[in-house]
Each structure stands twice: as C-alpha cells, then as structure tokens.
Amino acid sequence: MSQNNTLIIFDTTLRDGEQSPGASMTRDEKIRIARQLEKLGVDVIEAGFAAASPGDFEAIKSIAEVVKHSTVCSLARANEKDVRAAGEAIRPAARGRIHTFIATSPIHMEKKLRMSPDQVVEAAVKAVRLAREYTDDVEFSAEDAVRSEMDFLCRIFEAVIEAGATTINVPDTVGYAVPDQWAERFRTLIARVPNSDRVVWSTHCHNDLGMAVANSLAAVMAGARQVECTINGLGERAGNASLEEVVMAVRTRGDAFGLESGIETTQLVPTSKLVSSITGYPVQPNKAIVGANAFAHESGIHQDGVLKHRETYEIMRAEDVGWNANKLTLGKLSGRNAFRTRLQELGIELDSEEALNATFARFKELADKKREIYDEDLQALVSGVAEEAVETLRLVSLRVCSETGETPHAHLVLNVDGVEHDVDAVGGGPVDAVFKGIESIVKSDSALTLYSVNNITGGTDAQGEVTVRVEKDGRIINGQGADTDIVIASAKAYLNALNRLRQPERRQHPQLGDV
C-alpha cells in the first residue's frame, strides 16, 4: 500500500482511553491489551504518558520490550522533562515514537499556559528537536486546535515540521467540531502550511457532541492519513472516536474513501471484549460493530429479507469483524497442555506456572457448571486470577435467601487479612444484602457509584459478569466478578473493588494534559 491510499490507525486506548474514570490499568493489563492491539494490526500504540508516574513509565517500557510490529508511542508535554522520560521509555522498542504537544488556542495559552504565542512556538520547536535525539518518528499535536486561530496553527506547524516533526496531529480536544468545518480546517492547513507534503496529517477527535467518528472521517476525506482512536470509543468525558467504527466505515465504503488499513478486522470483537473486561466498561448492546445487537434483526420484514439475501439489510458480515462462536472444545476431562495451547491462541500469556495452575483449576470448576466454555469465559477467568496476588479480602462462603413477601437476607463468611468473619445482613434484594454484609465487616466507607451486570456468553448457564465502581477520597476504582451465580459474581466484584481500594495508589492521574 502506498502512502496515499494507506490509513494509519493510531490507537490511544492505553493512554487517552485510560482517562475514563475508574479505567486505570496495571502494567500487566496494559501488556495484555498491547499484545492484542498488535494482533489486531494497529500501526501505532500510544502506550501511555511516561512522565505521569513511575508506573506509567515502566508500563510503556515493558510494552516497548514485547511489541515487535506496531510502533510504540509515549505522550509528552512540550518540555524537557516529559520528552526525555518519553524517550527513555520507548528506547527498547523496535519502532518508537514520541508524541509531544502544547496548547495553541487563545484561551489555553492565556488561561492555562500563561504563555505568549511566541513562547508556545519556541517550546514546541525545542520539544520536537529534543525528541529527534531519541527517534526519527516524532509527532506534534496542537492541543485544542479546533478553537485555535488558523494563522497561528499554520505558523506553529511550519516551525515544527522544519524542526523535524514527521506527523502533525490536529486534535478536537473538546469535541466541538462539526464535520464540514473540520474537513475545511484540514484542507486549509494542508494547502497553506509549507512542506505539508513531508508529514502525515492526523486527526484526534473527542465525542462530546457525538460526532467524533464523523469528524475523523471528514478529516480523512480532506487529506488526513492517520486517525487517532480507541477501542469501544473509550476515553475521557464522552470518549474518543471508536476504532472499530472508523476502520469498518473505511473498509465498507471503499467507494467513498479509496483507502486501506492494516487492521485484521476479525480481531475487532475479541479486542473489544478484552478492553471491556479489563477496564470494567461494558459495551452497550446497540453499539455499532461490536455491540451484541449489531447484527441482530427483530423486525419481521428485516428477518425475511436477511433470510432471502443477507445484503438486503446487512452491509457487513458479522464474521468479518469477529462475531462467531469461539467455542473452546474442552471439557472437565481436558488436559493442561490443550488448555495452555488455547490460551496462547487467544494471546493470553500467564507469567508463572502458579498462575496457569490457578486458571486451570478455575476452568475445571467452570466446566462442571457449564456445558460449553467460550473464549470470553477464559478472558474472565484470567482476569480473576490476575487479581488474586493482591487479595486481602476473600469470600469464604455465602448463603442468601430471597422469598416473595419476605425481606431478603444473606449470611457471609469473609477472610480479612487471614482472619475469618461471619455476618448476617438484610437488604432490598439479595445483592443489596450481600453488599451491606460485606461493608459491615470491611468498613471501607466508600461510595458505590456503579453496579452493572452483563452476560459473558449466551444461554441460561452463562457466566454473569458484574462490574462495580466505588469511590473514596477522590479515588475511583472498578471491580469485576464473574460466576454462573449472579449473586456470587456480585460479591466477587465488590470484594475485587475493595481489594484494589486497599492497595497503595498504583499511579497518578493518567495524564497531566489532554490532546
């Protein structure tokens, strides 16, 4: 594919997506997602913000060590400390990129940066030149470009291209753009900026008005050849442009775009499910491409048409984006080697024999409860085992009673720091009773801000996956639990969140600026 008809997919799930409240990821979780993004065929993986915290630095460095085909990128503000941190973090990468940015809108320069336009240009040029000491692949972003003056954008882009920037990103940081105007902005910049043909033009759109994908595609039509996006549209506030929607729009409407990407589209659904599982952000059923109902037909007229000829109502094949029955044809008599092989096929790598044994034991337990085990079940099992290393609160036993006309009650036994405690509790329902019982023992004083239930697979014997979100003293923590018994899954999820809450804060806020 030549540069003119290639669309570069820049995934920022691990950086911008992580800014979603409660979506912070551990180093191992980031590595799992990065491996899957590479399997998906993402061109550039923005692995984090190296200067944000030592944890983020180490996560980026670890990803740079294991990813071999995708470019690994770190974000950096336009200052020496950030750029050097980014440069050191990506040093092990086969292909590394530094993505440096500074705000360019009048309101940001005056109110946030308290810098003059001349000072902003000087800082941008200095950052790009410094980044070139570490890599030839340097991206520059003009934060809040949507509200920046065109003349100033042309000036700063000309300066950073001369300094050595190879990608110019024009971000709609606040989700303010509309497609026609956004496309016109790109056409004007490409036409006016000297040496614009020496760089790749990139678009990064937020979804505050629900137009992130539309604006991204409008920019592509106007000459952008890189789209910055996230899996499931994850991101701060209303999120970012959804990778799967951008990719499938370009592929399905080849007549309109005339572009190709290197994305292996059959990995879209598996990637979506992995990100949802790790971050605790469920995918809405009617979400385009990866939602459970994306290829479902309720209307009799639609059903009749699809049965007669699929293309009457379907513009894509479900199989092309990864919707298939990924059934693990293993049962309770299956061996450890076959189990390990299937994990490897799914891109799941456990870091120790103990972790494999724990996952295999859970698989055997689940096989006794479920007739069929799916790949999604395995992802849930692995996520559960990963949390056991920091487990100081553990469910020993649980008995609940919910009867018509009677107040639901629960009896729990919890192991807290090696000591068992039992309690009886009542509530508005069995889950409420369980949560109140747990809180009476743990006394976390946290606020439960989200309780969500999703089935991992189909069928009445499916595992239910519960996500809870708790908040205390400004910390927002997600917890997850999976079980064929939804009350037990709820208890696991709540304890998972409280276990995380009891750990020292793993990292600072994932980003100190926004692009």
> For the residues of 338-407, what is the DSSP string, one character each?
HHHHHHHHTT---SSHHHHHHHHHHHHHHHHH-S-EEHHHHHHHHHHHHTGGG--EEEEEEEEE--TTS-
With 50 as the cut, is the pLDDT of residue 306 above it? no
Would you give the DSSP letter of residue 325?
-
Q: What share of the chain is helix, strand, coil (3-state, %, to 5)?
A: 45, 20, 35
Give the pLDDT confidence score for residue 389 in this predicted structure: 45
CB 240 within 8 Å of CB 17? yes
CA separation for the pair 451, 431 (Å, rounded): 10
Q: What's the confidence (pLDDT) of residue 300?
A: 52
- 345 token code pair: 């096929």
In whole angstroms, what is the distance from residue 271 CA to residue 506 CA? 24
Mean pLDDT of 82-106: 98
Band (pLDDT 50/70/90 cuts) for residue 372 is low
* C-alpha angle 323-264-135 in degrees, rounded to nearest 5: 140
CA distance 408 to 426: 6
Give the pLDDT band (50/70/90) at residue 31: very high
The arithmetic mean of pLDDT across residues 125-141, rounded, is 98
How far, CA to CA in Å, does 210 sit from each of 170, 207, 213, 317, 377?
18, 5, 8, 25, 32
The per-residue pLDDT for range 462-480, each reduced to its tens digit, is: 777 888 989 998 888 888 8
Which conformational region is residue 193 in: left (phi greater than 0), alpha (psi within -120 to 50 degrees), or beta?
beta
Higher local confidence (pLDDT), 166 or 365? 166
Give CA–CA dist 424/438, Å, rounded.
Answer: 10
3-state secondary structure 91-152: CCCCCEEEEEEEECCHHHHHHHHCCCHHHHHHHHHHHHHHHCCCCCCEEEEEECHHHCCHHH
Name which of 13-27, 191-205, 460-474 the model is least confident about. Answer: 460-474
Instruction: State residue 465 phi and psi, 5-degree precision.
Output: -110, 120
* Residue 197 burial (10 A CB sphere; 0-12, 13-18, 19+): exposed
**Weakest mean pLDDT among 9-18, 269-278, 433-442, 447-456:** 447-456
Average pLDDT over residues 208-234: 98
Nearest of 71, 60, 86 to residue 37 by alpha carbon: 71
136-173 confidence digits (pLDDT tens): 999 999 999 999 999 999 999 999 999 999 999 999 99
Q: How far is CA 227 from the centre of its chain?
A: 16
Predicted TM-score of the model (pTM): 0.82
pLDDT above 60 (res 313): no
Asked if 119 and 134 count as a contact pair (C-beta separation under 8 A), the reply is: no
> What number is the average pLDDT over the span 252-265?
96
Give pLDDT, residue 510: 47
| Whether the predicted pLDDT of 305 surpasses 60 | no
CB-based contact 154:142 (threshold 8 Å): no
| Distance between CA atoms of residues 440 and 456, nearest Å | 30
Q: Is residue 459 helix, strand or coil?
A: coil
pLDDT at 385 over 90: no
Integer Cα distance of 141 and 121 in angstroms: 12
CA angle 199, 200, 206 (to 5 degrees): 135
* pLDDT score recorded for residue 512: 52
Mean pLDDT rounded to a whole number for the chain: 88
Q: How confident is the model at residue 515 (pLDDT cuts 50, 70, 90)?
A: confident
pLDDT tens-digit series, residues 411-460: 999 999 999 999 999 999 999 999 999 999 999 999 999 898 877 666 66
